[in-house]
């Protein structure tokens, strides 16, 4: 298993951490929807193998921030790099910020897996076809090899018997696990999860979270936007709290959930606990 | 007078000869317009001057009668020394008009695909060509089969208008036989039945295609 930056920092007996290139570096991301600024210069760095969970009230900008990483959402200022390589915008030789061309953007996006709230599987393809489509058509992997890998991934998410099914025949939880396998099939360097359990029936949430937890345990670098506080507490290496288009507080989950430093987080967690206390 | 067996025995082969021309026109128009309509629809969906040109084209060809377009092609082109045969003029006019209709059908199909499908493809690193050929168009095609079938039926019936520019299709053969025999009823009944057979085949073909391409059932 990968040693995460946080693991290393938390063990005083470890040798000094070797400063390594972050897997994700976002700096000064600013975005407006018309006159409304939804991201106010957000910077976020994620180390290789780190699982970062982003929480915060609706409209705080967390989903928008996630979608800016692979430019599904355009933004007016700031720069993103994945594993040191720019994605979306780059700074040219004269120091001017430029939007990537279609070819470069597509190539950069291959390294970023994203799972959506609404699954977004391709309805005209079987489960297996959904998973192998991009590896074959985008990366040029031979079909047999892509299918073998797809079957491994389906086994990992517990859907071995569904490879010939069409998405419409699957439950929401099953579709979401296929979506996870589809993203993983591109061997991304980082995985983004955008409120992936919000559209699911409560009894299907667990199976999806379990697959994500397994991924985190396997050392996948991931950013998870979620309202599932228990997932944040149990799986996150670091929790980021956003509000009003800014990161208000970040820290280790045990600190954030037991002793938040800001009133805003305390208030948010109290409201959450009041609502979900049994 | 009606149902004169000897008359029918002579009439039917003549109408079938006309049917050959009708089928050729209809099939060629469909094949060309399936592609041409898509080109127009994609041009219209591309922001910029191409979109206005495509939009203007659709407006003009949909809002003028086919017969007017046919006369313009047949007589107009010959006036500027580029005269086409009746068959070629009829085919061209049919394609010009139905290309507009087909473009509208494709536009509806394209608009019915959720933007999330585009996002999902792009997020996987697909470029435009891959996105359209493997994600978007297969879904569009499945959705436009019913309206395309309708259009194919409409095209088949519209081919009858080429009779006006002296193309020997079913309709023109029927008109000639009516003039020489004065047996209006039998001749047009026979012509109508042949059109009905042709359009029935198209309907059945459309049903089969629909069933083959259904993935969400």
Q: Which CATH number covers residue B176?
A: 1.10.3720.10
Q: Are B195 and B153 in contact (CB under 8 A)?
A: no
pLDDT, residue B112, reads 95
A-chain residues near B127 (CB < 8 A): 102-103, 106, 138
* Shortest alpha-carbon distance between residue A142 and chain B (Å): 16
What is the arrangement of strands in the sheet containing A36-46, beginning at the earlier edge strand? A36-46, A24-33, A77-82, A85-86
pLDDT at A276: 72
The secondary structure of residue B133, as a DSSP letter, is I
Given this model, what pLDDT does residue B216 score? Answer: 54
The domain total for chain B is: 1
User: d(Cα A108, Cα A85) in Å, to the nearest integer?
Assistant: 8
Nearest C-alpha in A relative to B127: A106
Tell me the per-residue pLDDT of B53-67, one tens digit each, with 9 for 90 and over.
999 999 999 999 999
Place of tokens 């978007």: B136
Q: Taking chain A, what is the end-to-end CA distance rounded to the nearest angstrom?
A: 36
Domain extent, residue B40, equals: 5-216
The pLDDT tens digits of the residues spanning B169-215 come to 999 999 999 998 888 888 999 999 999 999 999 999 999 998 888 77
- Tell me the pLDDT band of B6, cut-offs 50, 70 and 90: confident
- CB-based contact B138 A137, cutoff 8 Å: no
Q: Of B77, B81, B74, B37, which Cα lies nearest the Cα of B161?
A: B74
- Read off the pLDDT band of A17 (50, 70, 90): low
- The answer to whether the beta carbons of residues A125 and A115 sit under 8 Å apart is no
Q: Which residues of B touch A88 (CB under 8 A)?
A: none
Task: Say yes or no: B142 contacts chain A, CB-CB below 8 A.
Answer: yes
Q: Does A120 touch chain B (CB under 8 A)?
A: yes
pLDDT for residue B90 is more than 50 = yes
Average pLDDT (A171-191) is: 96
Question: What DSSP element (H or E) covers A89?
Answer: strand A89-91
pLDDT band at A23 (very low <50, low <70, confident <90, very high): very high
Per-position DSSP letters for B42-92, written without gaps between them: HHHHSTTHHHHHHHHHHHHHHTS-HHHHHHIIIIIHHHTT----HHHHHHH
Check whether A226 has a pLDDT greater than 70. Answer: yes
Q: What is the pLDDT of residue B212?
A: 86
pLDDT at A18: 54
Average pLDDT, chain B: 92
Touching check for B65 and chain A: CB below 8 Å?
no
Cβ distance B126 to A134 less than 8 Å, yes or no, reads yes
Position A221 scores a pLDDT of 97
**Contact yes or no for B125 and A166 at CB 8 A:** no
Task: Count the alpha carbons within 13 Å of A12 in the hemisphere toward its beta carbon.
Answer: 0
Question: Which among B123, B128, B139 is the nearest to A114, CB-wise?
Answer: B123
Contact between residue A166 and residue A123 where contact means Cβ atoms under 8 Å apart: yes
Question: A277 falls in which pLDDT band (50, 70, 90)?
Answer: low
Decide the pairing of beta strands A190-194 and A222-225: parallel
What does the pLDDT look like over B9-45, one tens digit per residue? 888 899 999 999 999 999 999 999 999 999 999 999 9
Q: What is the pLDDT of residue A214?
A: 93
- Confidence category of residue A19, pLDDT binned at 50, 70, 90: low
Q: Which residues of B6-43 are buried (b: 16+ CB within 10 A; e: fewer)?
A: ebbeebeebbeebbebbbebbebbbebbbebbbebbbb
pLDDT bracket for residue B7 (50, 70, 90): confident
- CB proximity B200 to A under 8 Å: no
Asked whether residue A86 carries a pLDDT value surpassing 50, the answer given is yes
Q: A124 and B123: CB-CB below 8 Å? A: no
Which two tokens mark A61?
């900008």
The HSE-up count of residue B112 (CA atoms within 13 Å, CB side) is 14
CA distances from A236 to A67, A69, A269 (A): 20, 19, 16
Tokens representing B14 are 């003549």
* Residue-averaged pLDDT of chain A: 91
Tens digit of each residue's pLDDT (9 = 90 or more) over B103-147: 999 999 999 999 999 999 999 999 999 999 999 999 999 999 999
For B126, the closest of A70, A137, A166 (CB atoms) is A137
Residues of B in contact with A123 (CB under 8 A): 139, 215-216
State the ipTM, two decimals: 0.89
User: Is residue A3's pLDDT more than 50?
Assistant: no
Per residue in A125-162, pLDDT (tens digit) is: 999 999 999 999 999 999 999 999 999 999 999 999 99
Is the confidence at residue A11, as pLDDT, over 70?
no
How close A17 gets to chain B, by Cα (Å)? 33
- Candidates A72, A103, A112; nearest CB to B119: A72
Residues in A closer than 8 angstroms to B123, CB to CB, are: 70, 72, 109, 112-114, 183
Residue B1 has pLDDT above 80, yes or no: no
CB-CB contact of A89 with A266 (8 Å): no
**Which one has a higher pLDDT value, A6 or B160?**
B160
Residues of A in contact with B117 (CB under 8 A): 120, 122
Find the closest chain B residue to A168 by CA distance: B216
């Amino acid at each position: 298993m990968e040693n995460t930056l946080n693991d290393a920092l938390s063990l005083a007996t470890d040798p000094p951490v070797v400063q390594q290139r972050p897997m994700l570096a976002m700096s000064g991301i600013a975005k407006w929807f018309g006159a409304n600024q939804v991201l106010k210069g957000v910077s976020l760095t994620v180390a290789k193998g780190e699982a970062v969970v982003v929480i915060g009230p609706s409209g705080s900008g967390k989903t928008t921030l996630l979608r800016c990483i692979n430019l599904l959402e355009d933004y007016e200022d700031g720069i993103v790099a994945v594993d040191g390589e720019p994605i979306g915008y780059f700074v040219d030789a004269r120091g001017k910020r430029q939007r990537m061309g279609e070819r470069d953007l597509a190539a950069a996006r291959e390294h970023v897996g994203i799972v959506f709230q609404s699954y977004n599987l391709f309805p005209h393809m079987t489960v297996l076809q959904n998973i192998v489509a991009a590896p074959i058509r985008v990366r040029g992997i031979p079909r047999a090899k892509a299918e073998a890998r797809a079957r491994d991934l389906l086994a990992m998410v517990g859907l071995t018997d569904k490879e010939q099914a069409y998405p419409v025949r699957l439950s929401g939880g099953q579709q979401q696990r296929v979506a996870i396998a589809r993203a993983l099939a591109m061997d991304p360097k980082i995985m983004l999860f955008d409120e992936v359990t919000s559209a699911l029936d409560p009894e299907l949430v667990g199976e999806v979270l379990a697959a994500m937890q397994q991924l985190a345990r396997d050392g996948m670098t991931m950013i998870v936007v979620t309202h599932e506080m228990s997932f944040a507490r149990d799986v996150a290496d670091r929790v980021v709290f956003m509000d009003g288009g800014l990161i208000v507080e970040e820290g280790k989950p045990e600190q954030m959930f037991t002793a938040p430093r800001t009133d805003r987080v305390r208030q948010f967690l109290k409201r959450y606990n009041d609502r979900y206390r049994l | 007078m009606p149902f004169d067996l000897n008359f029918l025995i002579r009439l039917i082969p003549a109408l079938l000869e006309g049917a050959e021309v009708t089928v050729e026109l209809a099939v060629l128009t469909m094949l060309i317009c399936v592609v041409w309509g898509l080109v127009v629809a994609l041009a219209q969906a591309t922001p910029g001057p191409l979109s206005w040109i495509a939009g203007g084209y659709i407006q003009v060809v949909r809002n003028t009668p086919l017969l007017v377009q046919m006369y313009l092609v047949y007589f107009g082109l010959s006036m500027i020394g580029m005269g086409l045969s009746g068959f070629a003029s009829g085919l061209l006019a049919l394609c010009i008009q139905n290309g507009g209709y087909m473009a509208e059908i494709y536009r509806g199909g394209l608009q019915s695909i959720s933007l999330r499908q585009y996002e999902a493809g792009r997020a996987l690193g697909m470029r435009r060509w891959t996105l359209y050929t493997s994600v978007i168009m297969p879904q569009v095609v499945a959705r436009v089969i019913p309206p395309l079938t309708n259009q194919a039926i409409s095209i088949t019936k519209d081919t009858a208008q080429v009779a006006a520019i002296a193309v020997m299709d079913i309709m023109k053969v029927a008109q000639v036989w009516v003039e020489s025999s004065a047996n209006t009823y039998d001749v047009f009944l026979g012509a109508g039945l042949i059109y009905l057979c042709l359009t029935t085949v198209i309907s059945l073909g459309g049903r089969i295609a629909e069933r083959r391409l259904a993935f969400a059932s």
